[in-house]
Structure 1
Amino acid sequence: MAREVLRVLVLLAPLFGVFSENKHNGFYDYNVKTFDGETVSLKKYIGKVSLVVNVASECGYTDEHYKELTALQNELVQKEQPFTVLAFPCNQFGEQEPHDNHYIQEFASSEYKASFPIFAKIDVRDRDAHPAYEFLRRSTGQEPQWNFWKYLLDGSGNVINEWGPSISVSQVKDEILKAIQKLKNTHAEL
């Protein structure tokens, strides 16, 4: 009997974070796939403020968001700011991202000159959500309700804020710049 109880506890432990070797402290603790299927760690973005966005090629928000995401990425990288956009294509909202990963990459590159990372297509909500997006949901209590949902992360991968698609990238730029400045101030104090 005691052996069976112990077995059940060991099986349930990961659900409650007990004895878990897979404890994730921030978004950057996760691995994702590139558009060509290579597994990569998000740890390489530690020390940068990131704007995580679920993107789609055939959405009413596509043109405005891709243009603004690209402009913001280019501006801040040119100014050597610790920032990046991290894009995750998703087909869960109105099936507005029906294309494969290579098409999505080519579309964003050729149509918008997107220079930020665009990862492999994933689910961002419900029970099949990628674990990194599950982390975002747990952190904010809010999972994406549509394409171009945005999460702002600090340099450790913790969520600062989140916005839906009706809030443009330009509307959140000041908050992004404040997060960058706070990160730089923290590093200057060390």
Structure 2
Amino acid sequence: MQFSTSLSLPSRYILEQEGASLKRIPVSVGRILKPRLWGPERGAESNAPAVQMGRLRSRARLSTARGEGGASCPAGRLEPGPPPPAPRARDPSPAFAFATPPARERVMVAGLAAAWLLLAAAACAQREQDFYDFKAVNIRGKLVSLEKYRGSVSLVVNVASECGFTDQHYRALQQLQRDLGPHHFNVLAFPCNQFGQQEPNSNKEIENFARHTYSVSFPMFSKITVTGTGAHPAFKYLIQTSGKEPTWNFWKYLVAPDGKVIGAWDPTMSVEELRPQITALVRKLILKKREDL
């Protein structure tokens, strides 16, 4: 059984280059000779090879257009489609791998808050400032850290060379230094010219006077101001913690081995009257050091 009508397949095309443009030519695969058989028309057997070749060329062009074989599509053939999108890079940090941007921000804020709390706790854990945290210039102009006297009992005195209390105090202070000095005790003398202008000399003259007249062996420091806006920081601490501010020469402040102020006395309180209290504090310190051994 043969049909005399030809059936064309308009969905098949061949792209051919004509000048600078491409031309689509529909491919006709022949006529239907039988209900289930595609083939050339009787008497047209000579066209079968050309039709078959057209099919093969169409398949080859489709394969090339799809990227088979890895070759690019030459001119005159089907152009390949756009490449697939590149995979999105993932966050390499495991802590934020599954977190959205708002979640990451919350994590960062929480971390900063925790760090601030740790710093605040560390600041609170620091010990309070004490007398031995300060520095002072000694009588010869060298900066000295009072930390070197930590662990010892100290009697801090503002001295003057031309005061009515000078002779009595210098002699008693040197005797106290001689008796208790070997047992973790020091008199710390700070010359001051604020009261009655009774310490007008230079540091060198002050040292010569004290050494030659009273043979003092306790540490002496450069002349300072002990009250007012220009007061030395160490004396500011003594005044603040004791609640007593010097009003004349030879005020005495007793400082414990840990730098805390135990008491303060004006010049009318003699060194001999303070000796029992100072001696008891030194004895307690000696016993503690023996226990630590």
**TM-score after normalising by structure 2:** 0.55
Query: Which segments of structure 1 move beyond 6 Å, counting only runs of 4 or more?
Result: none
Equivalent residue for 1:58? 162
After TM superposition, the structure 1 = structure 2 runs for residues 165-180 of structure 1, keeping only pairs within 5 Å, are 165-180=267-282
Give the Cα–Cα distance (whole angstroms) in 1 for the partners of residues 133 and 263 of structure 2.
19
Q: CA deviation at 1:35?
A: 1.2
Residue in structure 2 matching 1:143, options 231, 245, 251:
245
**1:49/1:84 contact within 8 Å kept:** yes
Q: CA deviation at 1:178?
A: 1.2
1:34 and 2:138 aligned: yes
Give the Cα–Cα distance (whole angstroms) in 1 for the partners of residues 168 and 128 of structure 2.
33
Amino acid at match of 2:211: S
Equivalent residue for 2:101? none
Give the Cα–Cα distance (whole angstroms) in 2 for the partners of residues 141 and 163 of structure 1.
11
Residue in structure 2 matching 1:45, options 102, 126, 149:
149
Task: Encode CA deviations 1:48-82: one digit per residue, 9 max, x unaligned.
Answer: 100000000000000000000011101123xx211
Q: CA deviation at 1:189?
A: 4.0
Whose Rg is larger? Answer: 2
Q: 1:66 to 1:169 in 2, by over 3 A?
A: same
| Percent of residue pairs bearing the same amino acid type | 49
**2:183/2:286 contact within 8 Å kept:** no
Q: CA deviation at 1:126?
A: 1.2
Task: Encode CA deviations 1:66-121: one digit per residue, 9 max, x unaligned.
Answer: 000011101123xx211000000000000000001000000000000000011000
Give the Cα–Cα distance (whole angstroms) in 2 for the partners of residues 157 and 109 of structure 1.
27
Residue in structure 2 matching 1:101, options 185, 193, 203:
203
Q: CA deviation at 1:24?
A: 6.2
Give the Cα–Cα distance (whole angstroms) in 2 for the partners of residues 36 and 189 of structure 1.
38
Task: Encode CA deviations 1:111-167: one digit per residue, 9 max, x unaligned.
Answer: 000000110000011111100000001111111111000000111111111110011
Residue in structure 2 matching 1:156, options 258, 263, 286:
258
Provide the alpha-carbon RMSD of the alignment.
Answer: 1.4
Give the Cα–Cα distance (whole angstroms) in 2 for the partners of residues 60 and 187 of structure 1.
39
**1:24/1:30 contact within 8 Å kept:** no
Equivalent residue for 2:19? none
**2:131/2:237 contact within 8 Å kept:** yes
Equivalent residue for 2:190? 88
Give the Cα–Cα distance (whole angstroms) in 1 for the partners of residues 174 and 249 of structure 2.
17
Equivalent residue for 1:128? 230
Amino acid at match of 1:72: L
Give the Cα–Cα distance (whole angstroms) in 1 for the partners of residues 285 and 130 of structure 2.
16
**1:154/1:183 contact within 8 Å kept:** no
What SS does the corresponding residue of 1:50 show, helix, strand or coil?
strand
- Greater relative contact order, per chain length (Cα 8 Å cut-off, separation 6+): 1
**2:132/2:150 contact within 8 Å kept:** yes
Give the Cα–Cα distance (whole angstroms) in 1 for the partners of residues 258 and 137 of structure 2.
20
Amino acid at match of 1:44: K
